[in-house]
Amino acid sequence: MTSKMLFEPYTLGSLTLSNRIVMAPLTRNRAGPGFVPGDLAAEYYGQRASAGLLISEATQISQQGQGYQDTPGIYCQAQIDGWRKVTDAVHAKGGRIFLQLWHVGRVSHVDLQENGAAPVAPSAIRAETKTFVNNGFVDVSAPRALELDELPGIVNDFRQAAANAIEAGFDGVEIHGANGYLLDQFAKDGANVRTDAYGGSIENRARLMLDVTAAVVDEVGAERTGIRISPVSPANGISSSDPQAQFGYIVDQLDALGIVYIHVVEGATGGPRDVAPFDFGSLRRRFTNTYIANNSYDLDLATSRLAEDKADLFAFGRPFIANPDLVDRLKTSAPLAEFNPATLYGGGSAGYTDYLVMAAESRA
């Protein structure tokens, strides 16, 4: 099998994708007042619409779910209207886009919470990580443990956010269950020491992630629902004593719900693929529908993993920042531009929408 297979159409549920390249979620901290995505966001995503599937930057389902400054929301009409400009721009270029639904849990700061409240978490255990707030990186604030009677409200926030995303014109939603954020915190015993129905056993720790997924499926349909997981990533100070058993169970239950894809961070998010022993192939075998592979993929690795039937789609993250035409560059084996790290988070068009595409003659 050659790399040509990566650039052929792929059927994802009821959608036909133009290729097997996925743009992974990339937080860029450029939402406007009211956490509304603006015209720059529409331009940014429209520039990258040649990806088979775009997954939006992580988008908070409520103010409580916010963990970083200037990240967009999907919980009020102004935000829905702002995102509609983005989906219109992507669809006008023939692209497909899912919105990633996000609650950060304990990875937040009191300055981002209503009335300076403490962030929430499965247990009152502070994460050993930093967040971006007040134009700099600072330690996250100490969280409080969520009460049992608060959890249905969080499930409903995810449900409503999914409905809002479809109203905004998205082709579907991706639940953020990875990278040490709220649903991952509940699933992993390094952050969850609860003794109620949402703590202790593998089944109990998985409950909130599965409750959320079932609610989203009920609201928008399984073929419009995906989820991102990161079984062994230590991102945001998270840890698990039993990731193989925990995520084997989770994926079995996700498969039973019939969701359209799982998006799996293989290894440490943005880091080594071999950070801890884990059989990702077992997740691939357990799940009936589409498996999106993520983490340090390049053309050669994606081509070889596709040839081995280890995944269906391949997510590329940071290469999309400086290469809005990444698909063309991969297809023609053209060199990739490097992004400017100083403009990753916050700011305006510089380092966001001003990266150049290849000249037409170089794509021939």
251: its two tokens: 């994926």
44: its two tokens: 């940014």
Tell me which of 68, 75, 181, 355 is the catalytic residue.
181
CA quadruple 75, 80, 81, 87: dihedral, nearest 10? 150
Q: What is the C-alpha separation between 120 and 130, in angstroms, rounded?
A: 16
**Is 44 designated active site?**
no
**DSSP collapsed to 3 states, the chain:** CCHHHHHCCEEECCEEECCCEEECCCCCCCCEHHHECCHHHHHHHHHCCCCCEEEEEEEECCCCCCCCCCCCECCCHHHHHHHHHHHHHHHHCCCCEEEEEECCCCCCCHHHCHHHCCCEECCCCCCCCEEEECCEEEECCCCEECCHHHHHHHHHHHHHHHHHHHHCCCCEEEEEECCCCHHHHHHCCCCCCCCCCCCCCHHHHHHHHHHHHHHHHHHHCHHHEEEEECCCCCHHHCCCCCHHHHHHHHHHHHHHHCCCEEEEECCCCCCCCCCCCCCHHHHHHHCCCEEEEECCCCHHHHHHHHHCCCCCEEEECCHHHHCCCHHHHHHCCCCCCCCCHHHCCCCCCCCCCCCCCCCHHHHC
Q: Which residues are catalytic?
A: 181
